[in-house]
Amino acid sequence: MRPTGEEHAAELERRLGHEFARRDLLLTALTHGSAGTAETYQRLEFLGDRVLGLVVTEILIDAFPKAPEGELSRRLAELVRKETCAEVASALDMGSAIRFGQNRTPRAQLLTANVLSDVCEAVVAAIYQDGGLETARQFVARHWGPRIAGGAPPTQNAKAALQEWSQSRGLGVPEYLIKAKSGPDHDPHFEIEARVGTLTPAQGAGRTRREAEQDAAAAMLAREGVRKASA
């Protein structure tokens, strides 16, 4: 017999290391909009994004007492970005407990980085609402801590670097235009064109608009000799 949604949630609860007094919070955090229920993870995801940002900021302030604001901002952006949250969700196998509606699309295709990231933030919010800030802090420290402790400070993202470079040369603010969007809703592909002043536009692609814009900005920076192209 296949596990029920409640059983999947109970198994996830053990992996999370938090026993919920209100299991309904966890179930809501795991409920996708396609499930057709009144309560889905969207509101919890909104709250979880803020809780995660606050806790990670506190940890960074303590971990890097001499780091300037710019470095702290880049570290924060790297740690709370969609891809990092999706990695944490995958490591905890949150995907197996997500409740979708009746859909002919294979479950594996529904578990996109967007969905996993949103559910991860919703779970953070559920833990916060069920156990308070200190419980949420312990959860975040346990699963984001190794990422905070390891690695060099991230470099400035390509879009920010391109804007800084273009404005310093009087070329204005870069513009990003969607040239094409293809693929199904659960796995889209974007093609973006970055434009700066009278320079020849640069092209980028990615599975999200943000990723494609970053790719286009990086391409222009590499072409103009501001940065080396990614390996």
pLDDT tens sequence across 159-218: 888 988 999 899 999 999 999 999 887 778 999 999 999 999 999 998 888 889 989 998
Is 93 assigned a catalytic role? no
15 and 128 share one domain: yes
Which pTM value belongs to this model?
A: 0.69
Boundary residue ending a domain (111, 127, 149)? 149
The DSSP annotation for the chain comes to -PPPHHHHHHHHHHHHT---S-HHHHHHHTB-GGG--S--THHHHHHHHHHHHHHHHHHHHHH-TT--HHHHHHHHHHHHSHHHHHHHHHHTTGGGG-B--S-SS-HHHH--HHHHHHHHHHHHHHHHHHH-HHHHHHHHHHHHHHHHHSSPPPPPPHHHHHHHHHHHTT----EEEEEEEES-TTS-EEEEEEE-TTSPPEEEEESSHHHHHHHHHHHHHHHTTSSPPP-
Boundary residue ending a domain (123, 149, 175)? 149
The predicted structure's pLDDT at residue 2: 42
121 and 180 share one domain: no
CATH for 73: 1.10.1520.10
The CA distance from 49 to 5, in Å, is 24
User: How many structural domains is the chain composed of?
Assistant: 2
- Single out the catalytic residue among 45, 78, 118, 121: 121
Domain span including residue 11: 5-149
122 and 187 share one domain: no
130 and 198 share one domain: no
132 and 176 share one domain: no
The CA distance from 152 to 161, in Å, is 18
Quickly count: other Cβ atoms within 10 Å of residue 76's Cβ. 18
Percent of the chain with pLDDT over 90: 54
Is 164 assigned a catalytic role? no
124 and 166 share one domain: no
Q: What is the mean pLDDT of the chain?
A: 88
- Single out the catalytic residue among 45, 49, 118, 213: 49
190 and 77 share one domain: no
The predicted structure's pLDDT at residue 106: 77
117 and 46 share one domain: yes
Q: How many CA atoms lie within 13 A of 170 on its CB side?
A: 0
Judge residue 14's burial from the number of C-beta atoms within 10 Å of its C-beta, 0-12 exposed, 13-18 middle, 19 or more buried.
exposed
178 and 126 share one domain: no
